[in-house]
């Protein structure tokens, strides 16, 4: 590990910082705000984002729960709806089992009563995904972002920067995707939009760029300047590309050399349209990196949306934390996950 780190020093050009004048000005004045981000409007955007899933899932259920007897045929139909909404076999069975228990316990007899019962059971399943997330425990608090190609890592970083800035925190970005030519520019654009610094590496033809080096420098820059949060981008990779999975393990190890204990959060970004494959991605990235939290993006693009339940059903004892969900491409379309709010937006 140490040798790898030393060789990176030889093989790479110095990193540089890209900062707009506005960012410099913003940094020199400490912006403290107790108010935090305003939740107003997000429930509306969440509802709007989930409209396709609601139409598909919610409306099927409404048909099913129109009235009549609660019998095996109804449970079977419900099973089909859940399975075809990407809920996955484990979560579907868990939900049905808990629903049957609730029906018995509460003495429900009419199908019309099932809608509310199912909502409650779903909230119970999803609630454990909401876990405390305290970025003040370390300074800087280093967040590494990982995931397969095109899931929304870089976009989520841009939105997260906005989210943390609204909480009065100082943020810098590390352009750790040195693989794709346009990745650096994409992150720089998010930096400009948020008026924050981006640590990048010059593209030098013939010189192999090193993602670990960029993030290492970003952590050191954050330490030197008393920055609260480092958001580190990484290149997309398939879980089957074993050399790239090894590479990202190295990135994580090198971050710990810049600051023992870092990264403090490893966020895996998942695309809600991936369906059951998301569960596989969680397992593979967790094996490689000890993922501490998830971001589920593009919930606005899916007609299914059950993948959250699938992940929860996979880890009934110790589910991963679902930190944020993305429901659109706008700067404010990423928010902390709230199980109750989510289920409400899925049904009504």
Ligand X SMILES: Nc1nc2c(ncn2[C@@H]2O[C@H](COP(=O)(O)OP(=O)(O)OP(=O)(O)O)[C@@H](O)[C@H]2O)c(=O)[nH]1
Give the nearest distance from C-beta 47 to Mg ion in angstroms.
28
Which has the closest alpha carbon to 87: 44, 133, 118, 132? 118
Residues 133-162 that bind Mg ion (CB under 5 A): 153-154
Phi, psi of 15 (to 5 degrees): -80, 160
184 counts as binding Mg ion under rule CB under 5 A: no
Q: How far is the CB of 151 from Mg ion (least distance, A)?
A: 9
Query: Which one of 146, 183, 230, 259 is in contact with ligand X (CB under 6 A)?
Result: 183
> Token pair 């590496």 is at which residue?
201
The alpha helices in 167-292, defined as continuous H runs, are 183-194, 211-225, 242-258, 277-289
Q: Provide the 10 A C-beta neighbour count for residue 124.
A: 16
Query: Which residue lies nearer to ligand X by CB, 156 or 292?
Result: 156
CB of 165 to ligand X, least distance (A): 18
Q: How far apart are CA 215 and CA 221, in angstroms?
A: 10
Binding mask 7-46 for ligand X (x = CB under 6 A): ----------------------------------------
Q: Nearer to Mg ion by C-beta: 269 or 282? A: 269
Tell me which residue of 86, 75, 85 sits closest to 314, measured CA to CA.
86
Q: Alpha helix locations (H) across 107-210?
A: 114-126, 153-166, 183-194
Q: State the minimum distance, in angstroms, from the CB of residue 183 to Mg ion.
A: 5
281 in Cβ contact with 243 (< 8 Å): no
> Look-up: residue for tokens 């906005």?
162
Binding mask 271-300 for ligand X (x = CB under 6 A): --------------------------xx-x
CB of 202 to ligand X, least distance (A): 19
In total, the chain counts a number of residues equal to: 348
Q: Of the candidates 151, 215, 308, 346, which one interacts with ligand X according to CB under 6 A?
A: 151
- Piece of 150-158, 240-248, 257-265, 306-314 that binds ligand X (CB under 6 A): 150-158
CB 196 within 8 A of CB 255: no
Q: Provide the binding-site residues for ligand X, judged by CB under 6 A.
A: 147, 149-155, 177, 180, 183, 236, 297-298, 300-301, 326-329, 333
């Amino acid at each position: 590990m140490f040798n790898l780190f030393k060789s990176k020093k030889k093989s790479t050009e110095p990193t540089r910082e890209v900062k707009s004048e506005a960012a410099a000005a913003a940094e020199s004045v400490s912006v403290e705000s107790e108010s935090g981000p305003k939740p107003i409007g997000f429930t509306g955007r969440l509802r709007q984002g989930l409209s396709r899933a609601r139409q598909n899932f919610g409306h099927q259920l409404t048909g099913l729960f129109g009235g009549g007897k609660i019998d095996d045929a109804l449970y079977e139909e419900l099973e089909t709806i859940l399975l075809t909404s990407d809920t996955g076999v484990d979560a579907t069975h868990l939900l049905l089992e808990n629903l049957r228990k609730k029906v018995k316990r509460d003495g429900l007899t009419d199908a019309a009563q099932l809608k509310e019962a199912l909502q409650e059971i779903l909230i119970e399943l999803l609630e454990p995904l909401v876990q405390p997330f305290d970025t003040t425990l370390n300074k800087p608090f280093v967040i590494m972002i990982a995931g397969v190609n095109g899931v929304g890592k870089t976009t989520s970083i841009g939105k997260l920067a906005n989210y943390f800035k609204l909480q009065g925190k100082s943020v810098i970005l590390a352009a750790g995707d040195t693989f794709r030519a346009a990745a650096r520019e994409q992150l720089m654009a998010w930096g400009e939009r948020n008026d924050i610094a981006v640590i990048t590496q010059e593209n030098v033809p013939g010189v192999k760029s090193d993602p670990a080096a960029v993030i290492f420098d970003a952590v050191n820059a954050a330490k030197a300047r008393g920055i609260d949060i480092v958001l580190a981008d990484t290149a997309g990779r398939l879980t089957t590309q074993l050399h790239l999975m090894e590479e990202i393990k190295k990135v994580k190890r090198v971050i710990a050399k810049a600051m023992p204990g870092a990264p403090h959060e490893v966020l895996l970004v998942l695309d809600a349209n991936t369906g059951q494959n998301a569960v596989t991605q969680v397992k593979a990235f967790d094996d490689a990196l000890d993922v501490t939290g998830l971001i589920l993006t593009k919930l606005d693009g899916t007609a299914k949306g059950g993948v959250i339940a699938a992940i929860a059903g996979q880890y009934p004892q110790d589910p991963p934390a679902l930190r944020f969900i993305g429901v659109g491409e706008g700067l404010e379309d990423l928010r902390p996950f709230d199980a109750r709010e989510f289920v409400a937006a899925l049904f009504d």
